[in-house]
Amino acid sequence: MSELSRADVERVAALARLGLNPDEVGTLQGDLNLILEQWAHLASVDTSSVSPSAQAIVQPMPLRDDTPEASLPVEAALGNAPARVGDFVKVQAILTEEADG
Amino acid sequence: MSGKVASGGSVRSAVIGIEIHVQLRTATKMFCPCAIPTDADEPNSRTCPTCLGLPGALPTPNRAAIEKVIAVGAAIGAKTPSTTRWDRKNYFYPDLPKGYQISQLDLPLAEHGSIEVTTSAGVGSVRIRRAHLEEDTARLRHERAGDGSRASLIDYNRSGVALLEIVTEPDLRDAETSRRYAEELRLLLRTIGAADAEMENGQMRVEANVSLRDSEEAPFGTRVEVKNMNSFRSVERAIAFEIARQNELLDAGGSVTQETRGWDDTSETTYTMRAKEDSHDYRYFPEPDLPPLAISDAWIAEIRARLPELPAARRARYVADLGLTAYDAGVLVGEPRAASLFEAARAAQPALDAKLLANWVAGEYLRAANEGAGEPEPKQFAALVAAVGAGEINGATGKALFAELCAGPLDIRAVITERGLAQISDDGALEAIAAETLAASPQALADWRAGKQQALGFLVGQAMKASKGRGNPARLGEIMRRLLDAQ
Amino acid sequence: MSLDPRRATAVQLAAAYRSGEVTALATTTALLDAIEHEEAHLSAWLHLRRDAALGEASAADARFTAARGNTAALAALPPLLGVPIALKDLVNLEGTPTTSGSKILEGYISPYDATIAARLRAAGAVILGKTNMDEFAMGSSTEFSAYKRTTNPWDLDRIPGGSSGGSAAAVAAFQAPLSIGTDTGGSIRQPASLTGIVGMKPTYGRVSRYGIVAFASSLDQVGPFARTAQDAALLLHAIGGRDTHDATSSAEPLPAELLALPSGDAAATALKGRRFALPKEYFVAGMEPGVERAVRAAVASLEAAGATIEEVSLPTTEHALATYYIVAPAEASANLARYDGIRYGASKHGGGDLLQGYLETRGRGFGPEVRRRIMLGTYALSAGYYDAYYVKAQQVRTLIARDFDRVWAAGFDAIVAPTSPQVAWRFGAKMSDPVSMYLADACTIPANMAGLPGVSIPCGLSEGLPVGAQLIGRPWSESQLLGIASGFEAITATAEWRSVEPTALARAANGGAA
Ligand SMILES: [Mg+2]
Ligand SMILES: [Zn+2]
């Protein structure tokens, strides 16, 4: 794996929606490269015939019956919202559309 | 309709792929037990820690939603995986509370199916690449506040509602087929009870990827995604418009820009919604909060056994076994409630003339139903149609009784007897009525003698009135004519 | 009154409540007073529920009073009734703050109970409050809390371990007999080791994660801190078992033996004939000699008690750390995406631009270690790197699990190993070097990667600081592991190191006098 450039760090920070100041970008670039160097030996592990495990102990997945239960009272649901208009949560105007549902 | 587009001398082929999101018909959301919101619900009144994305909340999958998608897969002849799983699709947006959508990437619940579609050009098949189960987002309302600033208001009621996403192969070549595909899919979903799929209510959202190329053999051109179509009519018009727009652009020597365009129903044009943008990096990975789901053959078989007769099979049966026209079969099957009344009435009176019954269902019943009339009780409906078919009551009486039947319970046999509605076909009785009518209408007789043919119609109408609507109109006509000729 | 409410175990309190020797109210009052008196020095707590806890204690006392004299009625009361407990501040408790050690959740009040919180309430436990932790459980020293720096009651200049440092320190400092922690890469076992108490990470799926602020979903497990194995077993029994709100929680029945774990001679006798595996890879380079000495001494005493010890090899161990630091940050990068300042938490939205609101809320709301891991995880999942990092790590995870499977197939009852290669270090010693901090978890991470239960138990001192030994078992073997731990307590009951208690806190809180 090649080293992360400053631009790489900025790209990843943008993907993760982390606003970083220039100093923080530099520090993270150093940290991440140091850590990635520690990961390099993984590439040498032979995993050609090994299936990946997303979970270590796989349980049969229980399914929920389609029976409604009480929702939260609106005040409990919105009690922590930083900005509200009535019973809506408010954010700044959204001018562009994001991907589908 | 051919996929060829001719304009300014050039002939190009359109390539269309359709992606549809449908809200499944369930009582609760996909990953939490909140009830599905209705329009009457107050904003943010159908939420819980899970669909609000509160810290610590976890998803629990809805069995009914999964079974409905397996049923869809069975109905479109798709492959159901022996194990499925969910993946996280990561992106930030205010309508997405967790910052990721739980969706399916590698192991969709259905793959490689197809749907038969009939168009003006005949019957064809549209291949479905995949169908998967995911969760809906919250709803955003864009508003201008009192101080003039703009804000978006979020209602999380819809957050987490179960969505079925169905993606076709790029098999479609024209706007009509695209519309018919969407209609046929909706019919299928409604028939098997998987979804209501009302486009007007946003329960079914259709997006089309449209591109043009110089010939059927040429590589695909730059594709444009078209969305915001809120009716089947819009689907057809938007795609037709987009094909024409791209064709003109290319004719003029321009090139198509990869973008997302919205359909404006008022101006009947598409407009740029999102210009070309960075390709999304959704960082999909297996959802660690949900173990993989094993789908046994027994489970699939059980779901398959519950499937009703599917629209294509039913149409074919109506034509082949019942002798209906393809058109009538299409009308009946196209309306699940019409088909179910037809089936129930046939079950009640197997000997009933299928064509007559089909006419009543496709005509009187659908007209009344579309005007908001109640559902007729199928057994009584069958009795009514049988009485008309046997000439026991005439058509006008039948229609009057039908209206009553839609309004509430009615015993057709009893009513015919009690009210003496039975049609008068006895020639002696009819002749007496006709003679009386003629005697009471000297002016009509004079008109007839003066060569006015319409006098006959007037006289028959008067005679029908005199019979209190019970006369056999055809026999009365013959008798009246004979009496006039004898004058 | 002979029972010291601060030193009493949950088992002792339960007996004393039933006999009427002490009340839950008196016990709770004594602990709350001590906490308030010592907090300036220990800094283990983020939120105290004084009034609520006293109310819960009184309610418990009322139930004891009503049942007094009726043996059957007393026996039917839940074992944790009236027993004080501390919750790591990532357990949602309706009506109380949950910060997860982060500024981004400052002021957040939970509108719902975590399943384990509801179970503890139902069990009648007295919930004292919420304890300090590394931000979003990311760290091994609790220095990454956005709020305070918890000290180690054995030496106030040293870290208590992490990320559940507050919960561990509170139990070690006799401020509560029990507390709740979470363990994603060692965050229960490592602080237990560094503060000289018992801490168990149960099998993945044993305890519901519903309502526990997520760090890495496929690794996170909730577990108990206690000062004895018996107490840890009682607490595990109260919180464990299938929960319909967590699709990864297991239907595996909760063993009833947890309620009656053998102790004393019975537990010591049960060690006879046990087969323990000693993995050579866990005695890593850089391990402190004092730690190795204490762990090997513990192994020797097990052998002396009639157990057999064999060295085994878990060859994939050397890759566990790198694997963990891909999988955990990848999952965390998604789990922490919900902290966007829109529905809750500290928000920097409100300026002109929506994107700016996201960037500033998250850029300022998360501390340096959380930002580092979000960056790592986002990178490992991003287009072009997913296969090389994320998929590779999940494959190596399979190999790690296979290493353990071979040990169980060979018939071993448990693995014995050091919990941490080091004793508690001084504040700041690893803050500037993330990799050296990550190495502190080298011995605990493999059990998380394989989903296995592990318990850290005190096994001696090195230069006056506690050393922990770790027992790792096959899936669902918690009661056997805790039984072994109880046996070890019995065979070392008279060891000299057992008589040493942490005194640094008491000295500091009492004005520096010895
Ligand atoms: Mg989708
Ligand atoms: Zn919900």
pLDDT band at A95 (very low <50, low <70, confident <90, very high): low
What SS3 class is residue C452?
Answer: coil
Selected for mutation to probe chain B from A12, A17, A94 (highest B CB count within 10 Å) is: A94
Q: How far does the centroid of ligand 1 lie from the alpha carbon of residue B105, in Å?
A: 10
N-terminal to C-terminal alpha carbon distance within chain C = 25
pLDDT over 60 at A16, yes or no: yes
How does residue C29 score in pLDDT terms, banded at 50, 70 and 90?
Answer: very high
* Helix or strand holding residue A85 (H, E): strand A84-85
Residue A20 lies in a domain: yes
For residue C492, pLDDT over 90 is answered with yes
Phi, psi angles (nearest 5°) of residue B375? -80, 130
Residues pairing with B262 in the sheet? B227, B271
Q: How far is CA C389 from CA B436, C176, C383, in A?
A: 100, 42, 11
Using a CB-CB cut-off of 8 Å, the residues of chain C touching A19 are 356, 358-360, 362-364
Residue of chain B whose alpha carbon sits nearest to that of A91: B152
Residues of C identified as active-site:
88, 163, 187
Lowest-confidence pick of B299-303, B331-335, C311-315: B331-335
Q: What is the pLDDT of residue A99?
A: 41
Per-residue pLDDT reduced to its tens digit, B76-119:
999 999 999 999 999 999 999 999 999 999 999 999 999 999 99
- How far CA B81 is from CA of B85, B87, B280, in Å, comes to 10, 15, 27
Residue numbers of the domain that contains A23: 6-43
- What does the pLDDT average to over C57-75? 96
Mean pLDDT confidence for C147-155: 98
pLDDT in tens, A22-52: 999 999 999 999 999 988 999 999 999 999 9
Tell me what the mean pLDDT of segment B183-197 comes to: 96
What is the rounded average pLDDT of the residues C332-357? 94
Average pLDDT over residues C8-36: 97
Instruction: Give yes or no for residue B359 having a pLDDT over 80.
Output: yes
**pLDDT, averaged across chain B:** 92
Using DSSP, state whether B213 is helix, strand or coil: strand
pLDDT score recorded for residue B242? 96
pLDDT tens digit string along B6-23?
A: 555 567 999 999 999 999
Q: Is B447 exposed, middle or buried (0-12, 13-18, 19+ CB in 10 A)?
A: middle
Mean pLDDT computed over C186-190: 98
Domain membership flag for residue A95 = no
Rounded to a whole number, what is the distance in Å from the CA of A45 to chain B's nearest CA?
A: 22
Q: Spell out the domain ranges in chain C.
A: 12-257+265-317+398-509
> Is residue C278 classed as helix, strand or coil in its secondary structure?
strand
Q: How far apart are CA B180 and CA B283, in angstroms?
A: 35
pLDDT at res. C260: 94
| A50 in C contact zone (CB under 8 Å) | yes
Region B210-229 average pLDDT: 93
Q: Is A92 on the interface with C (CB under 8 A)?
A: yes
What percent of chain B has a predicted confidence (pLDDT) above 70?
96
Q: What b/e sequence results for C361-396 when a residue is b if at least 16 CB atoms lie within 10 Å of its CB, and e otherwise?
A: bbbbbbbebbbbbbbbbbbbbbeebbeebbbbbbbb
Residue A26 lies in a domain: yes
Place C514 in a pLDDT band, splitting at 50, 70 and 90: very low
C349 → closest Cβ in A12, A64, A92: A92
Q: What is the mean pLDDT of residues C350-379?
A: 94
User: Is residue C122 within a helix (H) or strand (E), and if so which, with residue range?
Assistant: helix C115-122
Segments in B158-267 forming alpha helices (H): 175-191, 232-251
pTM for this one?
A: 0.92
Establish if A98 belongs to a structural domain.
no
Cβ-defined contact of A76 to C379 (cutoff 8 Å): no
Per the CB < 8 Å rule, is A18 touching C375?
Answer: yes
Q: Specify the CATH superfamily of domain C12-257+265-317+398-509.
A: Amidase signature (AS) domain (3.90.1300.10)
User: What is the distance in A from the centroid of ligand 1 to the CA of B131?
Assistant: 10
User: Given CB atoms, is A58 within the 8 Å cutoff of chain C?
Assistant: no
For the segment A76-93, the average pLDDT, to the nearest whole number, is: 94
Contact B41, C196 (CB under 8 A): no
pLDDT for B8? 52
Cα B378–chain centre separation: 22
Closest CA to A44 of B159, C76, C399: C399
Find the mean pLDDT for residues C3-25.
97
Structure confidence at residue C512 (pLDDT): 64
Task: Check residue B430 and give its pLDDT.
Answer: 85
- Does A80 map to a domain? no
User: Residue B418 above 90 pLDDT?
Assistant: no
What rounded mean pLDDT belongs to chain C? 96
Does residue C259 register a pLDDT over 90? yes
Taking CB atoms and an 8 Å limit, are B44 and A74 in contact across chains? yes
Instruction: Pick the residue from chain B with its C-alpha nearest to C108.
Output: B55
For C337, which of B90, B94, B289 is closest by C-beta distance? B90
Say whether pLDDT at A98 is over 70: no
- A22 Cβ under 8 Å from any chain C Cβ: no
B467/C486 Cα distance (integer angstroms) = 103
Where does the pLDDT of residue B1 fall: very low under 50, low under 70, confident under 90, or very high at 90 and above? Answer: very low
Q: Average pLDDT of B296-300? A: 98
Average pLDDT, chain A: 90
**Per-residue confidence (pLDDT) for residue B6, from 0 to 100:** 55
* Domains defined along chain B, listed by start: 4-298 (no CATH), 322-418 (no CATH), 427-486 (1.10.10.410)
Query: ∠ at Cα C273 (C272, C274), nearest 5°?
Result: 95
Structure confidence at residue B216 (pLDDT): 86
User: Rounded to an integer, what distance in angstroms lies between the CA atom of residue B425 and that of residue B423?
Assistant: 6
Cβ pair B55:C382 closer than 8 A: no
Q: Count up the domains in chain A and report the number.
A: 1
Distance C336 CA to ligand 2 centre (A): 19
Banded model confidence at residue B484, pLDDT cuts 50, 70, 90: confident
pLDDT, tens only, C95-139:
999 999 999 999 999 999 999 999 999 999 999 999 999 999 999
Question: In terms of Cα–Cα distance, which of B166, B180, B167 is closest to B233?
Answer: B180
Q: Which amino acid is at B342?
A: F
Ranges A68-72, B474-478, C236-240: which has the least confidence: B474-478
Q: Quick one: which of A58, B56, B291 has its CA closest to C220?
A: B56
Q: How confident is the model at residue C8 (pLDDT cuts 50, 70, 90)?
A: very high
| Residue-level pLDDT at A100 | 41
| CATH value at residue A22 | 1.10.20
Token reading at C220? 């996170």
Does A97 score more than 50 pLDDT?
no
Tokens (6 digits) for C129? 């409050």
The alpha carbons of chain C give a radius of gyration, in whole angstroms, of: 22
Residue B219 has pLDDT above 60, yes or no: yes
- Residue A96: beta bridge partners? none
Q: Specify the pLDDT at position B3.
A: 53
> pLDDT tens, C195-216?
999 999 999 999 999 999 999 9
pLDDT band at B391 (very low <50, low <70, confident <90, very high): confident
Determine the Cα–Cα distance for residues A84 and B282; give it in Å rounded to an integer. Answer: 29
User: What are C297-304's contacts with CB under 8 Å, separation 24+?
Assistant: C297/C459, C297/C460, C298/C416, C298/C459, C298/C460, C298/C469, C298/C488, C298/C492, C299/C416, C299/C469, C301/C488, C301/C491, C301/C492, C302/C271, C302/C274, C302/C276, C302/C416, C302/C488, C302/C491, C304/C491
Q: Do C322 and A39 touch (CB under 8 A)?
A: yes
DSSP 8-state assignment for residue C30: H
Q: What percent of chain C has pLDDT over 70?
A: 99
CB contact under 8 A, A85 and B93: no
For residue A69, is it within any domain?
no
Contact (CB, 8 A) for C343 and A79? no
- DSSP helix/strand/coil, C94: coil
Q: What is the DSSP annotation of C286-355?
A: T--HHHHHHHHHHHHHHHHTT-EEEEE--TTHHHHHHHHHHHHHHHHHHHGGG-SSSSSSS--TTSS-HH
The vertex-B377 CA angle with B374 and B383, nearest 5°, equals: 130
Q: C56 Cβ partners below 8 Å, 6+ apart?
A: C24, C28, C124, C125, C126, C127
Q: Is residue C474's pLDDT more than 50?
A: yes
Is residue A15, in this structure, part of any structural domain at all? Answer: yes
Residue B479 tokens read as 């008798």
Q: State the best of C207, C379, C445 to mutate against chain A, taking most chain A CBs within 10 Å.
A: C379
- Which pLDDT value is given to residue C217? 98
User: Angle formed by the axes of helices B427-439 and B454-466, to 10°?
Assistant: 120
